[in-house]
Structure 1
């Protein structure tokens, strides 16, 4: 038995699985040097009730993420409950996620709004790609950061995902038991939408095969040219375009929500970005989430079925679906008269206690 133990230890040491604490600490400090904007460049006004600063942290793929930290100026003392926020899919922390984070900080939570890997001010190459695995990991990396802050209670950490990041939030909650409460607001299941199209209209093997052919041909061309062409996001819609396309344009391409670093305000995603989502249904284990989940969606949102179908998968009496009367998908991006912040505060105070 002793000989087996020694051999096992030798094997682990040879393959780098017994890294010393000193080595581990050093490697965690090897963060990419990011160029962070210091001036206030958000799409919402700055609050005088919270302190704001820029922070960075590293995910387990070695990508350095940039975040805005919001801390309430008046607290009762002691360690605070904390919330990490991200989304919508293709947005940056200066848009909707920052608004959610700042507002929740006004209500007593320490919060961060972060840019996902490969986007915004965060690191990662090539740029403007998404990943079902890495973007789920981004949430857990945010939890790593929050759990090790001296002013945060590591047993009281929650997350908020908006739009496509609502799906990643649900996926993260299924995998990360440190997350005690999850809110998915106006959520998309990006893997389902990528593989099946809107309303599952293209849910068949032939349609997916054709998509894979096109995306893989693009991969060959990308490698040949050494470039990564991008899609065009939210062009000005025609008069007869679906209303939700007009709503996206109204948020991302006008003064209301435009931001120069936002993928959805600019040239869009790397053309092959969707490829990974065709084989990776991110909500496969949603039914195994034991922590609290709140799904919020607009009554008139084209995407409402994502939350309704996800809610059917969830189990336990700590799960809730809230439908906002009359609201469309983008109303929950920035309309403070529509976003139910009182409900979010109540939910997080109940489950992060």
Structure 2
């Protein structure tokens, strides 16, 4: 069974909190391939990126670093609950800065995996930091597109007007507007919508199934404007050169992972790219449901081993 060590990684002006997941029978005198694992929007490292995919990849022989985004979870940064794609992608680079110095990590064999919004960020990070040798998006979501569409009521200009006014008020001393991105209970979710993603997200984040103290599904409204002008897949035709795998279920929901996975698979300039569409599977089943996670990992783990090395002293 893999073991976990909590670490603090220097960032721009604060620390990034991370958990390092070690393989079974870990030997610090050997070199291991490593994977950076990124959590969804409003999530934390103790949820799916760490306790499901992080653990599974470590059990398969990788050193895995699951981290909290800046301004979120146990990581530093003020004000809290900022969801800024530029910072989110920058976080990956600081994590790689740290792990490539570890004596037991093979710096030439580092990959990246992300779930939901973390999947979109992971893809963008792999496009702009070539220390990543391959990339996996688990039900990946382009947070820029989502912000312009469903999160912005399909009227991004109106959203930006509201954000501008709110940020001005806050700069003048008003209380910060922190939005809860989900209903409080599954019952409320079912009353408010028929969208499978909203209902299943609430069931994951607001019940004992996935609830964690730092998985607060909150967002600072006034600082969200950067997301509306951002695109996870910008220049993917030219910049995405790394082997890529996107895993998605065939039951689409309002957060748009199915379409985003199809888009990046089509646009990526990678010579090797795969899209895995799992029948009868929804977005949030891929967070922790064995009937979704197992077939996903059956594709992901061989892909990672192929591109990060399956050397005798590791696997």
- State whether TM-score is above 0.5: yes
- SS where residue 280 of structure 1 aligns? coil
Structure 2 residue aligned with 1:38: none
Deviation, 1:238, is: 3.5
Tell which structure's C-alpha radius of gyration is larger. Answer: 1
Partner of 1:180: 133
Q: Deviations over 1:286-333 (max 9, x none)?
A: 222111111011110322111111111012331111111111010111
Map Cα deviations across residues 323-353 of structure 1 (whole Å, 9 max, x no partner): 1111101011111331121222101100002
- Answer yes or no: is 1:231 the counterpart of 2:205: no
Specify the SS of the correspondent of 2:233.
Answer: coil
Counterpart in 2 of 1:117? 70
Aligned match for 2:6, one of 26, 31, 54: 54
What is the root-mean-square deviation of aligned Cα atoms in Å? 1.7
Distance 1:343 1:65, change over 3 A: same
> Using the alignment, how far apart are the partners of 2:156 and 2:196 within structure 1?
26
1:162 alignment counterpart: 115
Deviations 1:66-122 (A, max 9, x none): 011111132586200000101111101111111211111001000111000000000
SS in 2 for 1:145: helix
For 1:28-107, what aligned pairs fall within 5 Å after superposition?
49-59=1-11, 61-74=12-25, 78-98=30-50, 99-107=52-60
Pair 316,209 (structure 1): closer, same or farther in 2 beyond 3 Å? closer
- Aligned with residue 269 of structure 1, among 219, 230, 255: 219
Moved over 3 A (4+): none
2:292 is aligned, of 320, 330, 338, to 338
Which structure shows the higher strand fraction? 2
Aligned-partner SS, 1:237: helix
Query: In structure 2, what is the Cα distance between the partners aligned to 1:240 and 1:64?
Result: 38
Match of 1:329 in 2: 283
Q: Which runs of 5+ in 2 are unaligned?
A: 310-315
Alignment of 1:293-304 (within 5 A): 293-302=244-253, 303=256, 304=258
Distance in 1 between residues matched to 2:213 and 2:22, nearest whole Å: 26
Q: Write out per-residue CA displacement over residues 245-274 of structure 1, whole angstroms, 9 at most, x where no aligned residue.
A: 11111100011011121122xxx1111232
Superposition deviation, residue 225 in structure 1: 2.0
TM-score, L = length of structure 2:
0.90
- Unaligned segments of structure 1, at least 5 residues: 1-48
- Return closer, same or farther for 1:101/1:338 CA change in 2, 3 Å cut-off: same
Residues 73/299 of structure 1: CA separation in 2 closer, same or farther (3 Å cut) = same
Normalising by the residue count of structure 1, what TM-score does the alignment of the two structures yield?
0.80
1:221 matched to 2:174? The reply is no
- Residue 262 of structure 2 corresponds to residue 311 of structure 1: no
How much does 1:131 deviate? Answer: 1.3
Q: Tell me the CA shift for residue 201 of structure 1.
A: 7.7
Alignment of 1:139-218 (within 5 A): 139-197=92-150, 202=154, 207-218=155-166
